[in-house]
Amino acid sequence: MAKTKTQYVCSNCGYISPRYMGRCPNCGEWNTMVEQTVQKNDPKKANVSRVSLSGNKSQPQLIGQVNAESAPRVQVDSNELNRVLGGGIVPGSLVLIGGDPGIGKSTLLLQVSGQLAESGQRVLYVSGEESADQIKMRADRLNVSENGNLYIYPETDMASIRKAIEEVKPDTVIIDSVQTMQEDEIPSAIGSVTQVRGVTSDLMNIAKTNGITIFLVGHVTKGGTLAGPKTLEHMVDTVLYFEGDKHHSYRLLRAVKNRFGSTNELGIFQMDEDGLKEVKNPSEIFLEERLKNATGSAIVVAMEGTRPILVELQALIVPSVFGNAQRTASGLDRNRVSLIMAVLEKRAGLMLQNQDAYLKAAGGVKLNEPAIDLAMAISIASSYENVGTDPKECYIGELGLTGEIRRVNRIEQRVIEAQKLGFKRVLVPKYNLKGWTPPKNIQVVGVSTIGEALKTALKK
């Protein structure tokens, strides 16, 4: 009897090693090497081509003979989801949605399934984690209408799922979740690297050869990344992350990969008893609880894709009790906070080396663009000097290491959004004033250095 050969595969990146190692040499993660049995190649299955459900095989074509007419995108009732997907659902695409447990991934996809079914599309909802009764109870709570276009199928076997797709012939398939699906031909545990790779490859072939849109729900690790091999994200067309604090009602949907649109778009939802509802004007929500004349508060107009959003940045500067000052940030990059504080100490004369700094972006949103630098600097200086900022004033600009305020992109859209929400004055980089006309009812002030900006904002 031939000896069974085994190998060790990293569950994080898919690196293969003939022996066990505590740390993966490829990605550097610890205790991620999983033992797997080596499969022998079957010559009968060595050459596998893409075959559609109708039996047609793909053939080489001259590029001039390919029909370049793009299929129209499928619109859902949620404009926020349409925005993140780049304008709607692309037929035949493979979309992966990840997020923490209980964040609302299944809720969102069940609501989308109901909306697509109402529009006349045939939808197959495959669940490996819930029974049909459980899905029906959740559908009733979400007011998902009962019609003849939405099919529920609790199953984990891919052979049975392929057969169901052939029988139902759906336009859209929901797989909840990809880590619970299993290929019988792969001798590995459910959720292993090999299983996830094989299941995703099979679903990709189904989507591309038949024009069926497939949504995959993906589990995440304790570090917040998608569980399974990194090739999972490379194989799909779009990767969406569902973010938010489970103790708050707001959820953020971000695109980190999108072959059919921008990866900078952001969708904002509110979770209530009836499911997820889109937030049409998030700026008002982020600003509605702001205190008047509060110190350490500054409003920034940040760009999330093509949408300008006004967010309150808060800073609390207190004397350090211990030897080393602390730098804590929530929703902001901690390294950027340290950099801005160093510039304020060197270029603006603020003694911050013995001060603890706590910064956050209100509302749970995460910001990382350079245009928030000026608002962060003003909020830090406001808390340190104990001087409040004007509640009708906002700040836009990138801060350089020499103390200069550098220009940012889409300045006109940012200022118009601030004017719509009733702001009376906005500080912008001086070199951003050329080439456009500011809107009425708002004063646009150009600043060139951090010292000038602090003098104007805090009236020093």
Q: Quick: pLDDT tens for 265-309.
A: 888 898 888 889 988 888 877 787 788 878 999 999 999 878 899
Same domain, 429 and 370: yes
Query: Cα–Cα distance between 187 and 338 in angstroms, integer?
Result: 50
Which own/partner pairs from 153-157 qualify as long-range (CB within 8 Å, at least 24 positions apart)? 153/124, 153/125, 153/126, 153/127, 154/126, 154/127, 154/128, 154/130, 155/126, 155/127, 155/128, 156/128, 156/180, 156/181, 156/182, 156/190, 157/181, 157/182, 157/184
Torsion sign over Cα 325, 331, 335, 339: negative
Query: Which of 279, 309, 342 marks a domain boundary?
Result: 279
**pLDDT tens, 321-334?**
877 899 999 999 99
Query: Which of 234, 260, 279 marks a domain boundary?
Result: 279
Q: What average pLDDT does the structure give for the chain?
A: 87
Among the residue ranges 92-106, 157-171, 188-202, the one predicted with the least confidence is 188-202
Local confidence band at 131 (pLDDT 50, 70, 90 cut-offs): very high
Same domain, 313 and 359: yes
Work out the average pLDDT over 331-360. 94
Q: Confirm whether 359 is domain-assigned.
A: yes
Binding site as annotated, residues for ATP: 99-106
Same domain, 82 and 180: yes
Nearest residue to 377 via CA among 445, 313, 305 = 313
Domain containing residue 249: 73-279
Q: Confirm whether 321 is domain-assigned.
A: yes
DSSP classification of residue 107: H
| CATH code assigned at 317 | 3.30.230.10
Local confidence band at 373 (pLDDT 50, 70, 90 cut-offs): very high
For residue 185 the two structure tokens come to: 């031909």
Q: Largest Cα–Cα distance in the chain?
A: 86
Same domain, 418 and 376: yes
Q: Confirm whether 243 is domain-assigned.
A: yes
- β pairing state of 327-330 and 405-406: unpaired
The model scores a pTM over 0.85? no
Query: Which of 264, 279, 294 marks a domain boundary?
Result: 279
Q: Confirm whether 33 is domain-assigned.
A: yes
Query: Cα–Cα distance between 46 and 34 in angstroms, integer?
Result: 25
Same domain, 337 and 378: yes
* Residue 431, strand partner residues: none
Q: Confirm whether 292 is domain-assigned.
A: yes
Ramachandran category for residue 275: left, alpha or beta (phi over 0 → left; psi -120 to 50 → alpha)? left
Query: Cα–Cα distance between 277 and 80 in angstroms, integer?
Result: 9
Q: Confirm whether 1 is domain-assigned.
A: no
Q: Confirm whether 213 is domain-assigned.
A: yes
Same domain, 307 and 442: yes
Residue 1 has pLDDT above 60, yes or no: no
Query: Looking at residue 53, what is its pLDDT?
Result: 59
Number of domains in the chain: 3
Same domain, 427 and 346: yes
Same domain, 120 and 236: yes
Query: Looking at residue 314, what is its pLDDT?
Result: 95
Residue 42 has pLDDT above 60, yes or no: no
Same domain, 315 and 427: yes
Same domain, 258 and 115: yes
| CATH code assigned at 104 | 3.40.50.300
Same domain, 373 and 454: yes
Nearest residue to 199 via CA among 167, 168, 169, 173 = 173
Same domain, 253 and 296: no
Q: Confirm whether 52 is domain-assigned.
A: no
Is 380 within 8 Å of 357 (Cβ atoms)?
yes
